[in-house]
Structure 1
Amino acid sequence: MSAAAASSHEAVPHRGLITLSIMLATIMQVLDTTIANVALPAMTGDLGASPDTINWVLTSYIVAAAIMTPMTGWLSDRFGRREFFLASVVGFTVFSMLCGLSWSLESMVMFRLFQGIFGAAIVPLSQTFLLDINPKENHGSAMAMWGAGIMVGPIIGPTLGGWLTETMNWRWVFFINLPVGILSFLGCAAYLPNIARRLRGFDFFGFAMLSLGVGALQLMLDRGAEVDWFSAAEIWIELGLCLIGFWVFTIHLMTGKDTFIDAHIFRDRNFVTGLVFIFIVGIILLASLALLPPMLSRLFGHSTILTGLVMAPRGVGSLVSMILVGRLVRFIDARVLVVVGLSLTAWSLHIMTGFTPQMDDHLIILSGVVQGLGLGLVFVPLSTVAFATLDPKYRTDGTSLFSLTRNIGSSIGISVVTVLLTRNTQINHAELSTHINPFNPALQAIPGAAQGNPTGLSIAEQLVNQQALMISYIDDFKLMMIVTLAAMPLVLLLRMPKRAPAGDAVAAAME
């Protein structure tokens, strides 16, 4: 079946089974980006690693996936979209098993590297296939299904990883991919349609420069906190390589012929605006997910399992939102849905600025549900509108750039809020400590503190640490709220495709 046929009114056989098989692979890959995080302490002893070196288990996967994601379009055209997707699922599943069988840190890092290489194409190709096998009027529902997997995966990942590690063994964090990968492969091999190949030359120079920029950026973001950022020569080198790679790639893209990514793709205003939006969504989604589990553990004393239960309603909110918006996007202007979604997201972050160490979990759950609803309302119409006016021949390259931009946004967001959290905690602690003196009436509430009793002073120090950390979390939530509100005017740059006349629901999108 050709791409054109797949996107026409011709019925695609077994569309439901294809969607299920594709989504199994998507959830498996997205889940793996977060499920292994909580298992790192358990891996340290078994693999003979130190707390510093064990982070390469995450870094190797992130960098490999980031470098290979832009390759998705060219490899799909060269080897066939169906064949490449099947190979990616097989490779990802095999190397997941090998990660579970790792006997040393070196073997684990190597297997994670290959897991990232094979897994990089799964998410963008799954989005491409869902757009291909569904007529244009059903793209909203298709993106709702796809978005549910993309957004819910990172939410349940840490909880599932923690449960598997505590009840079984950290190796099951990787072994769990085997049945999912097999089912996905069998379904895709049986029903996934063949897509006509489009041979094109390989721009090695462009790929090398883009890989240099993306790889150096991911290394810098992942290693920064560990080496104290710009106080280390490593970070300056990685920053320089990142700037050189992106600068040379941009010049090459603007002036070269038959470049790695066709520059014409950036002439589509919807697509470019969609990239900016998905970058912001990446910041908000994973940055808030990176902040909440340690906050619940450090300030509220929650276990891994309880943390997962408190955060689960966020995933429920996303699922409900996506089920609704998949239908609403047919009748309501997608730009309106995006604005409503951003407003709900900003409101949820405003609620989070009211967190206190003395509160119960109700406010955390409420903010999570509201944020899940808001991000769902943004993600689905955005994923639909971004590709509504894009030429189908650029679709695979577009989805790979879409995934890459979201991942870079997530990495930058996590790095920024983590740095601010650490530095603001120090600043807040110093500021609050100035008020700890015998003349402060509030100190009288702590027995012996005003008289210099060591026990009382220790309690006062704990309270100062607690309040300094809570204020720092609130500062991060305020920053994300401001970023969300600042993104709203970008909606004016989006344009809706012309609605198809009756009897012709697949009319060409407005250019």
Structure 2
Amino acid sequence: MSTDSASTSAAPLNRPMITVSIMLATLIQTLDSTIANVALPHMQGTLSASQDEITWVLTSYIVAAAIATPLTGWLSDRLSVKRLLIFSIGGFTVASALCGLSETLTQIVASRLLQGIFGASLVPLSQSILLDINPREKQGQAMAVWGMGVMVGPILGPTLGGWLTDSYNWRWVFFINVPIGAFALFGVATFLPAREPKHDAKFDAFGFATLGLAIGALQAMLDRGEQLDWFGSNEIVIEALVAAISFAFFLVHTATVGKKSFFKYELLKDPNFATGTFFIFVIGAVMYATRALLPPMLQNLMNYPVATTGLVTAPSGAGTMVAMLFAGRLLKRVDARLLLLAGFLISAFALWQMMHYTIVLSESDIVWPGVVQGFGLGLVFVPLSALTFSTLTPELRADGTATYSLMRNIGSSIGISIVQTLMTRNTQVSHADLAANVTPFNPAIQPMLNSGSNYDLAALNASITQQASMIAYLNDFKLMFVATLLVIPLLLLIRPARQAPDASVAHAAMD
């Protein structure tokens, strides 16, 4: 699936149009992972749903996408990459329209399930295609373009979702996908070359069922654990047991059936891919989780409107885009591991700045650490993607990119769940510690206690809660800072990129 040989045996590839088309498809998929979050309160009223019920609009999408992602490799062999991509974009676009037209909670949850299923292949396929249509010396720049779509989409999602919801209504959060999806579908159908699928591709139903059940149960547990007090809830206990038992069956099945397994264990024989996949899991857990802390901190503690929150957090995406453009070019001249080291150090510096936040913050205090962190993340993402797939054969790329995306998503889900849980618990602990100083003998608060006014007591409790929450957020930033520093020694596990035999020009056309 490479371009150089394709151009000699078929019509020349229109790389710019292929890139634009698949990145538009990637963008709408990544946008939808966060764009609906800010619209949930508006949906709740329209659909007459409780707060617990409306969260299934998010959970259904996440779980469906997680379960369907591992299917990408087999489906690309069975249908061909072009047909699978057309099918995925078309289905995602139709499902988006159905979300916008939904009149009941059941309808929108079902439509979001379809969105997750159809959209699951878009990110791994876009990465695989960009690797295949570009020669080796341009793959770093290709990964920079791909990284911008993957990273910027979730960052811009809340901003765009808030603007669409305030200016129009929540349905446009989904309708916006329709024209973009239509353009992407036209571009892929017109410019992406095709080749015959592998009709003999075997499907390991038991392997997929056990892996899909394990991933789905894990994602549901991580997404709903904080709401349901984790293992104090029977639902979370059941989901944890299902995930553990299903994954155990999957491991035993994979070890016993060998090459007939749903998971291509040949991927793990490539040291760079195995190390890179582990790294993207850690990065998802450490660096993505930080992005989930800022919006609730700004809205809940500092009373920022949704639109303003989006405006002050969105510039971090600009930092990511600039870094990715630089990193794509620097990969030709600088050891990728040095870029990774620089990225982690810059990200750690941004987290160190966030550790010193206070209740009183100017907008620049929020914007600049975000830009710095985004820049660091961009320096990490591009070289890591390039190194991970530098020695992987084209035949394994579809499965490899699916596994890579899946591990990134699982890592981010775990990281977000950890920081949110710690934030809630540390808030309670800090509240108790601060409240211990509320005594009649404390001169700072003695007038409020002596007044006997319920209003004064309520104001005092609100102030203590605010301070306790801020302490909890700062503890989370400190945890992420330490974790980022601890990841740096793992760079020694990554080998320098080397030329894989015929890795870039192995096929005459796209799958």
Give the corresponding residue for 1:286: 288
Q: How does 1:297-376 map to 2 (within 5 A)?
A: 297-376=299-378
Letter in 1 for 2:293: L
Q: What is the TM-score when the length of structure 2 is the normalising length?
A: 0.95
Deviation of 1:255 after TM superposition, in Å, equals 2.5
Is the CA contact 1:97–1:178 (under 8 Å) kept in the aligned structure 2?
A: yes
State the partner residue of 1:387: 389
2:509 match: none
In terms of mean alpha carbon deviation, does 398-407 or 460-469 score higher?
460-469
> How far apart are residue 456 of structure 1 and its match?
3.3
Residues 394-433 of structure 1 mapped to structure 2, 5 A cutoff:
394-433=396-435
Q: Look up the match of 2:187.
A: 187
| Structure 1 position 158, deviation (Å) | 0.5
Query: Does the CA contact (< 8 Å) of 1:137 and 1:506 recur in 2?
Result: no
CA distance in 1, matches of 2:183, 2:445: 62
SS at match of 2:359: coil
Deviation of 1:131 (Å): 0.3
Q: Which residue of 1 aligns with 2:144?
A: 144
Q: Which residue of 2 aligns with 1:252?
A: 253
Provide the C-alpha distance between the structure 2 equivalents of 1:359 and 1:229, rounded to a whole number of angstroms: 33
- Matched residues in 1 for 2:201 and 2:309: separation? 49
**More moved, 220-229 vs 57-66:** 220-229
**Percentage of matched positions with identical amino acids:** 54
Q: CA separation in 2, counterparts of 1:325 and 1:292?
A: 26
Residue 276 of structure 2 aligns to a residue whose secondary structure is: helix
**Alpha carbons 2:132, 2:504 under 8 Å: kept:** no
2:83 aligns to what? 83
Aligned to 1:46: 46
Per-residue displacement from partner, 1:362-421 (whole Å, max 9, x unpaired)?
Answer: 221121011001000000000100000112211000000011111111111111111111
Equivalent residue of 2:116, what SS?
helix
Paired residues of 2:35 and 2:161 also in contact (CA < 8 A): yes
Q: Which moved more, 1:305-314 or 1:91-100?
A: 305-314
Aligned to 1:35, the other structure's residue is in SS state coil
Which secondary structure state, in structure 1, belongs to the residue aligned with residue 13 of structure 2?
coil
Which residue is equivalent to 1:204? 205
3-state SS of 2:45 partner: helix
SS of match in other structure, 1:442: coil
One-letter amino acid of the structure 2 residue matched with residue 405 of structure 1 = M
Q: Structure 1 residue 506: deviation in Å?
A: 6.1
Q: Contact (CA 8 Å) 2:2, 2:132: kept in 1 or not? A: no
2:241 maps to what in 1?
A: 240
Q: Deviations over 1:291-333 (max 9, x none)?
A: 1111111111111111111112101100110110010011100
Which has the larger displacement, 88-97 or 3-12? 3-12
Q: What number of residue pairs does the alignment pair up?
A: 504
- Post-superposition shift, 1:451? 5.1
Change (3 A) 1:172 1:474: same
Greater mean deviation of Cα atoms: 392-401 or 485-494: 485-494
Instruction: Give 1:212 shift.
Output: 1.3
SS of match in other structure, 1:256 = helix
Distance 2:262 2:111 in 1: 27
CA distance, structure 1, for counterparts of residue 378 and residue 285 of structure 2: 15
Distance 1:455 1:48 in 2: 34
Return the offset for 1:8: 9.5
> How far apart, CA to CA, are the structure 2 residues paired with 1:8 and 1:370?
44
C-alpha spacing 1:310/1:128, structure 2 compared with 1 (3 Å): same
Bigger Cα displacement from structure 2, 233-242 vs 197-206:
197-206
CA gap of 1:12–1:473, structure 2 versus 1, over 3 A, is farther
- The alpha-carbon deviation at position 467 of structure 1 amounts to 0.8
Aligned-partner residue type, residue 143 of structure 2: M
Runs (4+) off by over 4 Å = 1-4, 6-12, 450-453, 504-508
1:268 equivalent to 2:249? Answer no
* Cα separation, partners in 2 of 1:188 and 1:87, compared to 1, 3 Å: same
Cα deviation for residue 19 of structure 1 reads 0.3
Contact 2:35 2:173 (C-alpha < 8 Å) held by counterparts: yes
Give the structure 2 partner of residue 295 of structure 1. Answer: 297
Q: In 2 relative to 1, CA 327–350 (structure 1 residues): closer, same or farther, beyond 3 Å?
A: same
Residue 32 (structure 1) aligned with residue 32 (structure 2): yes
TM-score, scaled to structure 1: 0.95
| 172-181 vs 404-413, which moves further | 404-413
SS in 2 for 1:301: coil
Q: Which residue of 1 aligns with 2:94?
A: 94
1:222 Cα offset (Å): 1.4
Determine if contact 1:212/1:241 at 8 Å carries over to the other structure.
yes
Shift in alpha-carbon separation, 1:368–1:347, aligned structure 2, 3 A: same
The one-letter code matched in structure 1 to 2:150 is I
Q: CA deviation at 1:247?
A: 1.6
Q: Amino acid of the residue matched to residue 245 of structure 2?
A: I
Cα separation, 2, equivalents of 1:292 and 1:300? 11
Give the letter aligned to residue 121 of structure 2.
Answer: A
In structure 2, C-alpha distance between the alignment counterparts of 1:144 and 1:348, rounded to whole Å: 22
| Structure 2 residue ranges without an equivalent (≥5) | 507-511
Kindly indicate whether the alpha-carbon contact (under 8 Å) linking 2:393 and 2:503 is maintained by their aligned counterparts in 1: no
Q: In 2 relative to 1, CA 157–506 (structure 1 residues): closer, same or farther, beyond 3 Å?
A: closer
**Counterpart amino acid of residue 352 in structure 1:** M
Cα distance change on mapping 1:58 and 1:143 into 2, 3 Å: same
Q: Is the 8 A contact 1:158 1:308 kept in 2?
A: yes
Secondary structure of 1:495's aligned partner: coil
Measure how far apart 1:361 and its partner are. 2.1
- Superposed, which structure 2 residues align to 1:455-474 within 5 Å? 455-474=455-474
Q: CA separation of 1:448/1:48 partners in 2, compared to 1, >3 Å: closer, same or farther?
A: closer
C-alpha separation in 1, matches of 2:195 and 2:80: 7
Distance in 2 of aligned mates of 1:168 and 1:506: 47
Cα deviation for residue 285 of structure 1 reads 4.2
